[in-house]
Amino acid sequence: MKTGGRLRGRILTPGGVVHGEIGFDSRILEIHADPGVVTDDAPWILPGFIDLHVHGASAVDIMDGGEAAHTVARTHVRHGTTAMLGTTMTASEDDIVHALRGLSKAIDSRAPGCARVLGVHLEGPYLSAQRLGAQPPLVVEATLEQVKRLHAIAPIRVLTLAPEIGEHTALIPALTALGIRVQVGHSAGTYDDGVAALRAGASGFTHLFNGMSGTHHREPGIAAAALAHAEYAELIPDLAHVHAGMIRAALRAIPKLYAITDATAATGMPDGEYALGVQRVHKCLGCVRLADGSSLAGSALTMDQALRNLVSIGLDLADASNRVSRYPADYLGVQDRGRIEPGAFADLVLLDSNLAIRQVFVEGEPIAPH
């Protein structure tokens, strides 16, 4: 697998834009300012996108197990996602184990032409039956023993739970001690439940505003707790799941709000019917819904479109880039991805002046765009 090279353009670094050249192999070796050879229509060079909530793509669902994770990672990388978490659905333990065994192979070894799979986002089955969204009604109360069994199969980096259920809040310190980032989501809890979860060690919120109690001024819920107290939260910026005005409100309140796709098997596919775990979903006019149309069911979003959407609602490119790259890396505690600086992995995205992808590199490997 050939890696490495040199690129010229407008390089977005943690210290600002450098007009010049970047040299790399699997990691970034050097960055040289040379403004005399770079024009204002030169390509943008951004850190590769990091998506911490991906269910599927190209008619394949992570819950399919086997080679599904490779297919999903191969689709999303063409849209600039250089690292991701494979995300499960609420299901029986046997079905989750099947998915994790497939993910384990992709985590252990990145296939050529694929994004790096950093681990698992376990979204369910530890959710509220009142806030299932597109999740099937197979919820259970979490136990440390079950989480440890699953964690031993494939590394769980993020776990979503409803803190008001049973002993979930009391369990959070033990989960964080395993190195798992606990997120509050699919929850009918109160504001106080959300605050208690944060105090116990929860560190984020799953697809903010979606699948959670809201922001009523006399009965604030989980979303209000996030706005009042969170440093990190994920959000789906497809402009269908959350109105642009609410995205702007969240940006003012949550310092490191970051983008996710919540992408399903419908991503990269024409309108039609697809699987989301055991559910059947329909893609139509860019949105994905349950068969009866009652609920949005994940998305068909890609991270390059997420970046463009954030810019379209008023973010400058550096801020938008942080929210698709640096902040999700920081959230996981990953210091050598999500930024362009010497020593970091050469996960790079070249964009034209319209922010369309021209080239992607994963750990120095060149990958053609979609």
Decide if 55 contacts 61 (C-beta within 8 A).
yes
Rounded alpha-carbon distances, angstroms, from residue 183 to 36, 101, 369: 47, 23, 32
Take residue 361 and report the two structure tokens written for it: 């590199």
77: Cα within 13 Å, side-chain hemisphere: 26
- Return the beta strands (E) in 224-367 as ranges: 232-235, 256-259, 272-276, 279-284, 287-290, 348-351, 357-362, 365-367
Q: Across the chain, where does the E strand assignment appear? A: 5-13, 16-24, 28-33, 44-47, 49-54, 56-57, 60-61, 81-87, 116-123, 156-161, 181-184, 204-205, 232-235, 256-259, 272-276, 279-284, 287-290, 348-351, 357-362, 365-367
| CB-neighbour burial class of residue 7 (10 A; exposed 0-12, middle 13-18, buried 19+) | middle
Q: Tell me which residue has tokens 């197990």.
A: 65
C-alpha–C-alpha distance, residues 290 and 310, integer Å: 26
Look up residue 109 and give its DSSP letter.
S
Active site residue 262: yes
Q: Which residues contact 199 (CB under 8 A, 6 or more apart)?
A: none
Name the residue with tokens 């819920």: 221
Rounded to whole angstroms, the maximal C-alpha distance in the chain is 63
Question: Residue 192: helix, strand or coil by DSSP?
Answer: helix
Find tokens 């560190």 and name the residue: 203
Report which secondary-structure segment, H or E, holds 13: strand 5-13
Half-sphere exposure of 61 (CA within 13 A, CB side): 22
Q: Which of 95, 262, 330, 347 is catalytic?
A: 262
What is the distance in angstroms between the CA of the first residue and the CA of the last residue of the chain?
20
Pairing of strands 28-33, 16-24: antiparallel
Catalytic residues: 262
